């Protein structure tokens, strides 16, 4: 039987059982396509990262004697569309069976189902063998329960996979969650080791992308591309994290700093989302390293990290498959504004936003709290339409793939799902940002002022948001305290707040 097996750009799983089998009559195909480069405007580093990682994996398979077809972006025969490329290959190569792995994105899942229905040959679909849960596990886990919370899912996963467990039911260290100890500001020490970077010369690939005239955003250094794009690179980033960064990961997980784009974060999301690394091997390596170094590394650093991958990452995927396709349209707070232009150039006097945006444009990366409490916080406080916010997040980050981007953006950050992912909106005034960062020290605005000309914009925006949206939050118990503080404001104070907030929302370019 002559088989054609499709490998999507985020299915670069070296350990997949496909590659362990007898390979007679099997052709693997990779496709760089305009349908993938153009469904949103991507950061240039994201396109380079995906193409390089795909090319490296194709080479890896060829070196192991697999039959591989690779469509480069400018190849003549490349029709830039999944259905057309597959149909032509089937005809040209007399293929008798088409096979693919379950895509992680809804749009590709639908497209591949349609393609298979229209083919005259048989098709078969396989698991990606990447995640620790199945697509519908979350639905089963929460069946009959009123409220979904990540915490119970995470505890169940810890038990199921026996990760950091003292007994079958009790967590190591006596607690499931060490979040409270993970909230330190970084003030220049401990020293942050330089990230495990790469200095790849990608000028030839950049020329190909230019020739194709793909519209992109963000910056790139053609002589010094900094992301892991092979299995070896990915393993070295993982080892580097264990040896150098894990020791302080939890402590500074929420910290923000003008000069430090990565702090103690792992930079592993791209390796995992492309499947060059599996979440289980990341967790096993980190926990294994911890067990060998318990005198140096505290459990709180490790638990914080494990929770992100075993908990949040799998949970978000579960929510995605539970709620799509409707999730893509959700806008429960009825926000309608446009995302300010400075999201594309960092040109704002607000220092926190200036740094979070320019670091994102320069690195195709921002760490979680920059995404959530700076850019996400501002977009929500200024009531931007979630479609606008989603498009930006889906484009700008190297790790942005819809299943994990949309659940974080629409759900966790913009509260557009009305509280499925987050039980209350992640919004704050300037004081939280000041507590966790050094941004405010060198800002044009004063974080302690409320409504004056030079007052931190977050301060009026915060109360204005609560006031504008009070109807939506009247039954949300977690908002009670903030709502009662809002009620205590005098009409005059509230009116000043609303006047300033309205100025900021209407003229973002002046701030
Ligand atoms: P670390 O801080 O080192 O964390 C380790 C790993 O945990 C990450 O690599 C990631 O795989 C996982 N993780 C941590 N938080 C989350 C989370 N909330 N959801 C899922 N996995 C998580 N992550 C993406 O992978 N792709 C996205 O497109 C994406 N968009 C986001 C948009 C917004 C608005 C927000 C608030 C968060 C988003 N995240 C996204 C989650 C998180 O910010 C990134 O995974 C993280 O910043 C990646 O950097 P890191 O690898 O250094 O992470
Ligand atoms: Fe951001 Fe306000 Fe601090 Fe300036 S003062 S950095 S705008 S939080």
409 CB under 6 A from ligand 1?
yes
382 lines ligand 1 (CB under 6 A): no
pLDDT attached to residue 22: 73
Mean of pLDDT values over 390-406: 98
pLDDT in tens, 253-271: 999 999 999 999 999 999 9
Render pLDDT for 49-80 as a digit per residue (tens, 0 to 9).
999 999 999 999 999 999 999 999 999 999 99
CA 430 to chain centre: 24
What CATH number should be reported for the domain whose range is 341-510? 1.10.579.10
Average pLDDT of the chain, as a whole number: 96
Residue 436 CB–ligand 2 contact under 6 Å: no
How much is the pLDDT for 147? Answer: 81
**Ligand 1 center to 417 CA (angstroms):** 19
| CB-ligand 2 contact for 440 (6 Å cutoff) | yes
CATH 3.40.50.620 correct for 3-126: yes
| DSSP string covering 92-144 | HTT--EEEEEPPSSHHHHHHHHHHHHH-SSEEEEE--S--SS-TTHHHHHTTT
Ligand 2 lined by 352 (C-beta under 6 Å): yes
Task: Write out pLDDT tens, residues 209-238.
Answer: 999 999 999 999 999 999 999 999 999 999
Residue whose CA is closest, atom 14 of ligand 1? 308
113-159 pLDDT, tens digit per residue, is 999 999 999 999 999 999 999 999 998 888 888 788 999 999 999 99
Residue 506 pLDDT exceeds 80: yes
| Domain spans, the chain | 3-126, 137-219+230-323, 341-510
Evaluate: CB of 261 within 6 angstroms of ligand 2: no
The CB of 238 under 6 Å from ligand 1? The reply is: no
Q: Say how many Å lie between the CA of residue 20 and the centre of ligand 1.
A: 31
Q: What is the pLDDT of residues 289-336, one digit of tens each?
A: 999 999 999 999 999 999 999 999 999 999 999 999 999 999 999 999
Rounded to whole angstroms, how far apart are CA atoms 15 and 233? 16
What is the whole-number distance in angstroms between the Cα of residue 350 and the centre of ligand 2?
A: 6
CA 500 – CA 494 distance, rounded (Å): 10
How close is the Cα of 314 to the center of ligand 1, in Å? 11
**Mean pLDDT of the region 90-110:** 97
Distance 270 CA to ligand 1 centre (A): 9
Tell me, in angstroms, the distance from the centre of ligand 2 to residue 452's CA. 14
Q: Determine which residue's CA is closest to atom 7 belonging to ligand 2.
A: 350
Residue bearing the CA closest to ligand 2, atom 1:
352
pLDDT of amino acid 133: 97
The per-residue pLDDT for range 448-485, each reduced to its tens digit, is: 999 999 999 999 999 999 999 999 999 999 999 999 99
Give dist(CA 329, CA 386) in Å, integer: 8
Dmax over CA atoms of the chain, in Å, equals 79
> Which ranges of 293-451 does DSSP label H, i.e. alpha helix?
299-306, 314-323, 351-363, 368-369, 377-381, 386-396, 402-406, 430-436
Per DSSP, the chain holds a count of helices (H) and strands (E) of 23, 7
Distance CA 245, CA 293 (A): 13
Nearest-CA residue for ligand 2 atom 6 is 440
ipTM of the complex: 0.99
Contact 164, 287 (CB under 8 A): yes
350 close to ligand 2 (CB < 6 Angstrom): yes
Q: Which ligand is nearest to the CA of 511?
A: 2
Ligand (nearest to CA of 313): 1
Contact 73, 51 (CB under 8 A): yes
- The Å distance, Cα 368 to ligand 1 centre, comes to 6
Query: Where do we find the tokens 């409490």?
Result: 373
Chain centroid to Cα 157, Å, comes to 21
pLDDT greater than 80 at residue 274: yes
Whole-number pLDDT of residue 49 = 98
Q: Is the N-terminal amide bond of 198 cis, ω within 30° of 0?
A: no
CA of 432 to the centre of ligand 2 (A): 10
Q: Is 272 in the pocket of ligand 1 (CB under 6 A)?
A: yes
Q: Is the shortest distance between the CB of 321 and ligand 2 below 6 Å?
A: no
| Ligand nearest, relative to CA of residue 350 | 2
**pLDDT of 24:** 85
CA–CA separation, 315 vs 133, rounded Å?
Answer: 9
CATH topology of domain 137-219+230-323: 1.25.40
**Among 319, 399, 425, which is best to mutate for testing ligand 1, by the most ligand atoms less than 8 A from CB?**
399
User: Which ligand is nearest the CA of 434, by number?
Assistant: 2
Ligand with an atom nearest the CA of residue 227? 1
> Which tens digits make up the pLDDT trace of 167-195?
999 999 999 998 877 689 999 999 999 99
Ligand 2 close to Cβ of residue 356 (< 6 A): no
What does the alpha-carbon distance between residue 151 and residue 144 come to, in Å, rounded to a whole number? Answer: 17
Q: Is the pTM of this model over 0.95?
A: yes
């Amino acid at each position: 039987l002559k088989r054609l097996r499709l490998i999507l750009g985020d299915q670069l799983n070296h350990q997949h059982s496909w590659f362990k089998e007898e390979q007679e009559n099997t052709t693997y195909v990779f496709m760089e396509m305009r349908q993938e480069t153009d469904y949103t405007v991507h950061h240039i580093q994201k396109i380079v990262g995906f193409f390089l990682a795909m090319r490296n994996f194709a080479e890896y398979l060829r070196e192991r004697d697999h039959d591989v077809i690779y469509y480069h972006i400018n190849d003549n025969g490349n029709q830039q569309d999944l259905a057309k490329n597959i149909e032509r290959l089937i005809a040209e190569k007399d293929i008798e069976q088409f096979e693919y792995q379950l895509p992680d994105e809804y749009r590709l899942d639908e497209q591949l189902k349609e393609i298979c229905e229209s083919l005259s040959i048989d098709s078969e679909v396989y698991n990606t063998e990447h995640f620790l849960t199945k697509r519908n596990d979350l639905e089963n886990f929460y069946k009959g329960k009123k409220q979904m919370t990540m915490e119970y899912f995470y505890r169940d996963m810890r038990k199921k996979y026996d990760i950091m467990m003292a007994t079958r039911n009790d967590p190591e260290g006596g607690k499931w969650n060490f979040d409270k100890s993970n909230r330190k500001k970084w003030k220049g020490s401990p020293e942050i080791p330089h990230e495990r970077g790469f200095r790849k010369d990608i000028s030839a690939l950049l020329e190909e992308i230019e020739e194709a005239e793909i519209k992109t955003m963000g910056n790139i250094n053609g002589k010094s591309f900094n992301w892991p794009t092979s299995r070896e690179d990915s393993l070295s980033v993982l080892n580097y994290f264990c040896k150098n960064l894990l020791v302080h990961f939890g402590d500074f997980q929420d910290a923000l700093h003008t000069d430090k784009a990565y702090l103690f974060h792992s930079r592993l999301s791209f390796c995992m989302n492309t499947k060059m690394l599996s979440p289980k091997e990341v967790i096993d390596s980190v926990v294994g390293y911890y067990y060998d170094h318990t005198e140096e590394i505290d459990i709180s650093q490790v638990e914080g990290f494990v929770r992100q991958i075993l908990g949040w990452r799998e949970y978000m995927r579960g929510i995605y498959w539970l709620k799509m396709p409707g999730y893509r349209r959700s806008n429960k707070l009825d926000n309608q504004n446009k995302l300010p232009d400075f999201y594309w150039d960092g040109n704002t006097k607000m220092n926190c936003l200036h740094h979070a945006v320019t670091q994102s444009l320069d690195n195709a990366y921002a760490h979680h709290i920059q995404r959530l409490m700076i850019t996400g916080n501002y977009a929500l406080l200024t009531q931007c339409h979630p479609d606008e916010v989603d498009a930006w997040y889906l484009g700008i980050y190297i790790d942005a793939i819809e299943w994990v981007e949309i659940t974080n953006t629409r759900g966790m950050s913009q509260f557009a799902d009305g509280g499925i992912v987050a039980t209350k909106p992640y919004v704050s005034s300037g004081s939280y940002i000041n507590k966790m960062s050094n941004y405010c020290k060198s800002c044009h605005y004063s974080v302690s002022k409320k409504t004056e000309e030079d007052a931190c914009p977050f301060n009026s925006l915060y109360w204005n948001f609560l006031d504008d949206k009070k109807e939506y939050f009247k039954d949300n118990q977690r908002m009670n305290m903030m709502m009662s503080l809002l009620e205590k404001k005098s009409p005059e104070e509230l009116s000043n707040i609303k006047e300033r907030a309205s100025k900021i929302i209407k003229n973002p370019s002046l701030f």
